[in-house]
């Protein structure tokens, strides 16, 4: 579908990255349990998601609207196109419970996972409001107080303020019975911090909070992801060469087959033909993460005049080439960002703060006593989610006990749209107890 039309359809940014990470090694399909999600390889699951025939059938359109929360901040020239924080909504025309959604790392409110959750929740009778991730450039520019993303409690405070403002905009037009909250990936971790804040402030008094494939510790999850690049030829410094090789393979495969377009059929054909080995599949996941983090690093650096990749006093114009900043930021790991930019920033604001002290605040452990005692919060994740470090799953079991649901496979969010997962998720949002 992407490539058939003349010029253009091509240019869908989201779709595009796909062509890179479509070609995943095939592993055995049949497994001896009664969980029906069929992709057993966790990298493949992460990249391919849920095959169409395993998703719930949804009839009728979802009235998704993009809204803008205006910010009066004067913006740098280079972000002239940014007219405020963009979020999406799907509202029922009758009284209903409302769910706020928080996107994962680098995701906007129109990302594919958000769109899927929104459609399913809308069909289940919820009002839905979706927010971009605090690591999304639009959020960094418009909604972040510090413009330095990754600080969980600061980001939660920003998210909460945004939710309050959005609610005051929307409350005239919809009738709401009660509020719930859900987030995936980093958004899942942030949801826990937002919930804690809400328990102090009680603006929404969330009835239910769901953390979907969350990170337990931001730093260790990112280390897991970055570690995938150590297994590509030449390591993380050669991501350009690596990407070119993967693209050459996929283009070649496309040319040899009788494909009409880069669509699901092509993806699965490539998967079954084992075009990529496992290291390459993992590498592409890490590269896509790097692409997001490059945007995050650049946006933050410009907003704070941090002098990290852009000269401190440079005022960029929209005709200026950004190529070198792009290339530089792509080659910086999230750990570089953390050590060289993030830590010094917060240390300059809080004298006496140590790196370890800061690190401790960036994990669920820092709000553990709250999580243990708050019955409204639940976690859904997978046995083979590779953003979890060794020991993380045991930690979740210990903290959440019966409020944790672990599926045997699905990688990182690959099974989110599987119909059993979706049904369970909706059921948890509706119910009053776990």
Give 236 or 414: the residue with its C-beta nearer to another protein: 236
d(CA 43, CA 49): 10
Give 238 or 419: the residue with its C-beta nearer to another protein: 238
Shortest distance, CB of residue 181 to another protein, whole angstroms?
23
Shortest distance, CB of residue 339 to another protein, whole angstroms?
11
d(CA 173, CA 181): 20
Residues making contact with another protein (CB under 8 A): 3, 5-14, 16, 19, 78-82, 86, 108, 132, 136-138, 237-241, 243-244, 247, 251, 254-255, 260, 262, 294-295, 298-299, 301-302, 307-314, 318-328, 331-332, 336, 340-341
Which element (helix H / strand E) includes 20?
helix 13-20
Shortest distance, CB of residue 244 to another protein, whole angstroms?
6
Give 273 or 404: the residue with its C-beta nearer to another protein: 273
d(CA 161, CA 19): 37
d(CA 432, CA 87): 28
Residues in the chain: 434
Q: Comparing C-alpha atoms, which of 308, 340, 329 is closest to residue 240?
A: 329
Give 252 or 394: the residue with its C-beta nearer to another protein: 252
**For 191-258, where are the E strands, in sequence order?**
208-212
Give 37 or 253: the residue with its C-beta nearer to another protein: 253
By the 8 A CB rule, do 324 and 298 touch? no
Q: Comparing C-alpha atoms, which of 162, 167, 163 is closest to residue 145?
A: 162
Give 320 or 368: the residue with its C-beta nearer to another protein: 320
- DSSP letter (8 states) at residue 389: P
By the 8 A CB rule, do 114 and 182 touch? no
Shortest distance, CB of residue 388 to another protein, whole angstroms?
28
d(CA 24, CA 284): 10
Shortest distance, CB of residue 3 to another protein, whole angstroms?
6
Shortest distance, CB of residue 136 to another protein, whole angstroms?
7
Q: How far is CA 88 from CA 109, 187, 310, 364, in A?
A: 6, 16, 32, 28
Q: Comparing C-alpha atoms, which of 88, 89, 87, 83 is closest to residue 70?
A: 83
Give 49 or 137: the residue with its C-beta nearer to another protein: 137
Give 36 or 307: the residue with its C-beta nearer to another protein: 307
Considering only CA atoms, give the Rg of the chain.
21
Shortest distance, CB of residue 313 to another protein, whole angstroms?
6
Shortest distance, CB of residue 238 to another protein, whole angstroms?
6
């Amino acid at each position: 579908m992407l490539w058939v039309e003349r010029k253009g359809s091509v240019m869908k940014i989201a779709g595009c990255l796909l062509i890179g990470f479509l070609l995943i090694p095939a592993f055995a399909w049949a497994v001896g349990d009664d969980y029906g999600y069929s992709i057993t390889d966790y990298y493949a699951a992460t990249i391919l998601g849920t095959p169409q025939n395993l998703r719930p059938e949804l009839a009728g359109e979802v009235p998704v609207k993009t809204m803008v929360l205006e910010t009066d901040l004067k913006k740098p020239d280079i972000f002239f196109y940014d007219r405020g924080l963009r979020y999406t909504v799907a509202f029922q025309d009758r009284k209903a419970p409302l769910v706020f959604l928080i996107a994962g790392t680098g995701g906007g409110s129109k990302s594919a996972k958000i769109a899927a959750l929104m459609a399913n929740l809308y069909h289940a009778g919820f009002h839905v409001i979706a927010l971009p991730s605090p690591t999304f450039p639009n959020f960094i520019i418009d909604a972040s107080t510090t413009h330095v993303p990754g600080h969980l409690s600061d980001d939660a405070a920003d998210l909460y303020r945004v939710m309050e403002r959005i609610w005051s905009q929307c409350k005239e037009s919809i009738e709401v019975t009660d509020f719930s909250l859900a987030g995936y990936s980093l958004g899942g971790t942030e949801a826990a911090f937002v919930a804690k804040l809400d328990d102090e402030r009680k603006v929404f008094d969330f009835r239910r909070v769901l953390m979907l494939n969350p990170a337990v510790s931001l730093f260790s999850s990112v280390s897991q992801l970055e570690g995938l690049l150590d297994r590509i030829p030449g390591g993380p410094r050669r991501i350009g060469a690596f990407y070119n090789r993967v693209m050459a393979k996929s283009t070649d495969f496309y040319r040899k087959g009788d494909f009409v377009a880069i669509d699901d059929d092509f993806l699965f054909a490539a998967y079954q033909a084992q075009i990529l080995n496992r290291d390459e599949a993992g590498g592409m996941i890490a590269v896509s993460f790097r692409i997001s983090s490059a945007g995050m690093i650049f946006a933050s650096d410009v907003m704070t005049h941090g002098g990290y990749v852009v000269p401190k006093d440079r005022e960029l114009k929209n005709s200026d080439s950004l190529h070198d900043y792009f290339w530089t930021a792509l080659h910086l790991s999230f750990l570089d960002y953390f050590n060289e930019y993030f830590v010094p920033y917060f240390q300059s604001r809080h004298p006496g703060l140590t790196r370890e002290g800061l690190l401790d605040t960036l994990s669920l452990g820092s709000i553990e006593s709250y999580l243990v005692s708050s019955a409204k919060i639940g976690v859904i994740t997978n046995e083979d989610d590779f953003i979890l470090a060794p020991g993380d799953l045991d930690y979740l079991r210990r903290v959440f006990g019966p409020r944790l649901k672990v599926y045997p496979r699905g990688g990182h969010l690959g099974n989110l749209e599987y119909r059993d997962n979706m049904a369970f998720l909706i059921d948890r949002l509706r119910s009053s107890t776990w």
